[in-house]
Amino acid sequence: MIARLARFKPMTAEVEAAMLDNLRIRFRDALDAQPGFVGGSWAKAENGSWISFNFWENQRRWSAALLRRGRPRSSRVSAAR
């Protein structure tokens, strides 16, 4: 299994509301449809930043999902054991 953790800087109330709508309406379903996606969660920190946790079956599935979206794999993210 691989875990991906991302942190997002605090947003204005308007941008945060739009992000949450996008997450509820479109993004969660798109993630759930990805082969190998196990689950994910989002949380707001006390300082207003957001944290995203996503879990994938393995490195190969995670990398394939990124390539389907046209994004190269980030060098800042490392695979779990």
The single residue listed with the structure tokens 């308007």 is: 14
Residue 73, in any domain of the structure? no
User: How many structural domains comprise the chain?
Assistant: 1
CB 40 within 8 A of CB 50: no
CB 55 within 8 A of CB 38: yes
Q: Within 1-81, where are the H helices?
A: 13-22, 28-32, 59-68
Instruction: Give the pLDDT confidence score for residue 76 in this predicted structure.
Output: 46
Instruction: Give the pLDDT confidence score for residue 10 in this predicted structure.
Output: 96
CATH number, domain containing residue 14 = 3.30.70.100
CB 36 within 8 A of CB 65: yes
Q: What is the pLDDT of residues 35-80, one digit of tens each?
A: 899 999 999 999 999 999 999 898 888 788 777 766 554 544 444 4
Q: At residue 37, what are phi and psi to the nearest 5 degrees?
A: -75, 125
- pTM score of the predicted model: 0.66
Residue 79, in any domain of the structure? no
